[in-house]
A = this chain, B = another copy of it.
Amino acid sequence: MDPSVRIERALDAALLGAAGRGCPPGLAQAMRYAVFPGGARVRPRLCLAVAWACGDRDPESTDAAAAAIELLHCASLVHDDLPCFDDSPTRRGRPSVHSAFGERLAVLTGDALIVLAFQILARRIHASPLNLAAVMATVGECVGAPRGICAGQAWECESEVVLKDYHREKTGSLFVAATVAGAESVGAPTEAWRLVGERLGEAYQVADDLGDATGARREFGKPVGQDDSLGRPNAALELGVSGAVHRLKGLVASAIEAIPPCPGAAALQALIAAESRRILPEELSRLAA
């Protein structure tokens, strides 16, 4: 089955229960709004691609891992957009969750999506306890503290921040979750996959920084120039646009290089290459040619 269909189907099934019968209507609407229609679903597609490269032996567990990771990503966006953080009026070209549903429902939507992510994983424990224990450990580590998304976001509240740590935790961690949990969901060895995830996460953050600094991400419906005005660390402001583009290309190449020998290696390489073209606009790409 097409990866996108698998992902949307798994997310739909999850929301059908959580935001279904009995749920307060406002919360149900806000939860669906936060998840559908999605962005590029980069992380769950990566998770599925890794599991597929490793043999796709347990698609239901992989789908659960992919959906959980996407729900956690959506939850982090909802909370990041809140007035106390980025105060972002828009997301994906339309009002952010708190703009559309109010701040209270935005806080609760994030909370409920975090819980839902773990519920999806818990439902697969019976079928594959060892693999799911590993997936849950990885996912928990990558989103919580001391080194997951929550920690990454919390570095924004500190006066001294190491750019690399901040990016690794805030953005890189879910890419690591995607590659490592993808392998874990089918019981494959995970060591090499961590590196692939780390490098892709870093590449993606550099692309995001470039988008913010150059205005290129306006086309994705995101606000621009936020990092500079909010005083947040940004690779393009630090390395210059050309330096950042160069860094991004190097990271993508080394991610591809880090893919371990496996049946689906070639397809995964192609996916990563296509993705890197998607996140790096043509006019920027030429800068580091």
- On A, residues with C-beta under 8 Å from B are 17-28, 31, 75, 79, 82, 84-85, 102-105, 107-108, 110-112, 114-116, 118-119, 122-123, 125-126, 129-130, 132-133, 136-137, 140-141, 143-148, 150-151, 153-158
Q: Give the complex CA separation of A119 and B79 in angstroms.
A: 21
Cβ–Cβ < 8 Å partners of A112 in chain B: 144-145, 148, 150-151
Q: Is the CB of B140 within 8 A of A122?
A: yes
Q: Is the CB of B27 within 8 A of A115?
A: no
Q: How far is the CB of A159 from chain B (nearest CB, A)?
A: 10
* A17-B146, A107-B107 given; A140·B157 CB < 8 A: no
Q: Give the complex CA separation of A156 and B112 in angstroms.
A: 15
Q: Is the CB of A26 within 8 A of B158?
A: yes
Cβ–Cβ < 8 Å partners of A153 in chain B: 104, 108
Q: How far is the CB of A127 from chain B (nearest CB, A)?
A: 10
Ordered nearest first, which 8 A-B pairs have the shortest CB separation?
A23-B146, A115-B144, A129-B129, A27-B154, A122-B136, A119-B140, A125-B133, A84-B103
Q: Give the complex CA separation of A129 and B130 in angstroms.
A: 8
Cβ–Cβ < 8 Å partners of A122 in chain B: 133, 136-137, 140
Considering only CB atoms, which chain B residue lies closest to A21 in the complex?
B146
Q: Is the CB of A148 within 8 A of B115?
A: yes
Q: How far is the CB of A112 from chain B (nearest CB, A)?
A: 4
Give 7 CB contacts A-B under 8 Å.
Answer: A18-B146, A26-B157, A27-B150, A84-B103, A112-B148, A114-B115, A119-B136
